[in-house]
Amino acid sequence: MELTRPLNNGRRIRVVEGDITRIPVDAMANAANAMLAGGGGVDGAIHRAGGPSLMEELDAMRASVAPLAAGGAVATGAGALPAKFVIHAVGPVWGGGEEGEPEELASCYRECLRLAEERECRSVSFPAISTGVYGYPKQKAAPVAIGAVLDFLSTEARSVEEVVFVLFGAEDFREYAALLGSALY
């Protein structure tokens, strides 16, 4: 399943149901942890599909950047993935919503897009950061993710022409598709 929403400045948002590691883009965002240590979920899938070079690069930078605060991100090459870069973002752990989680989640999306712009990427994909192990309720995370991306594409974007939200499962896909259908831009 797939849906494309053009923005009136020529940029666009795509929503795709599937495995993020299979979808070709310039920069693929990852839902990482503060120590950039790898893990399960989409992080595990990205490291498995990308191969050992991703972790080698993270190992080399860990001492200078980790622990990364929630909302932060770092970029590596993409190894065997169909991308030029992987941008490892650290989402907030859900603690009820009153501890700055929405701001930190929005920051993940902005930081990834900023790092993608620095690398002159044209397309960037995102998983639903924080909505797995980190427990951020999916219906609450979706408008934050879409809002941050819409805002960036409408104001700051230069090289980035397309953002792809890759949702794991039909229910998540429908949530994003419905929100994008109703978003005013």
Catalytic residues: 43
| Shortest spacing between CB 82 and ligand APR, in angstroms | 13
| 29 lies in the binding site for ligand APR (CB under 6 A) | no
From the list 67, 114, 111, the residue with the least C-alpha distance to 89 is: 111
Query: What is the rounded (10 degree) CA torsion for 48, 76, 2, 131?
Result: 70
| 133 lies in the binding site for ligand APR (CB under 6 A) | yes
Which one, 38 or 143, has the nearer CB to ligand APR? 38
| Shortest spacing between CB 91 and ligand APR, in angstroms | 4
Query: CA 25 to CA 14: how far, in whole Å?
Result: 12
* Contacts of residue 160, Cβ cutoff 8 Å, sequence gap at least 6: 11, 113, 116, 117, 121, 122, 123, 124, 152, 153
| 168 lies in the binding site for ligand APR (CB under 6 A) | yes
User: How does DSSP classify residue 57?
Assistant: H
| 72 lies in the binding site for ligand APR (CB under 6 A) | no
User: How does DSSP classify residue 101?
Assistant: H
Report the SS3 class of residue 62: helix
Region from 4-12, 39-47, 66-74, 174-182 binding ligand APR, contact rule CB under 6 A: 39-47
| 166 lies in the binding site for ligand APR (CB under 6 A) | yes
| Shortest spacing between CB 114 and ligand APR, in angstroms | 19
Residues that bind ligand APR (CB under 6 A): 19-21, 31-33, 38-45, 91, 127-134, 166, 168
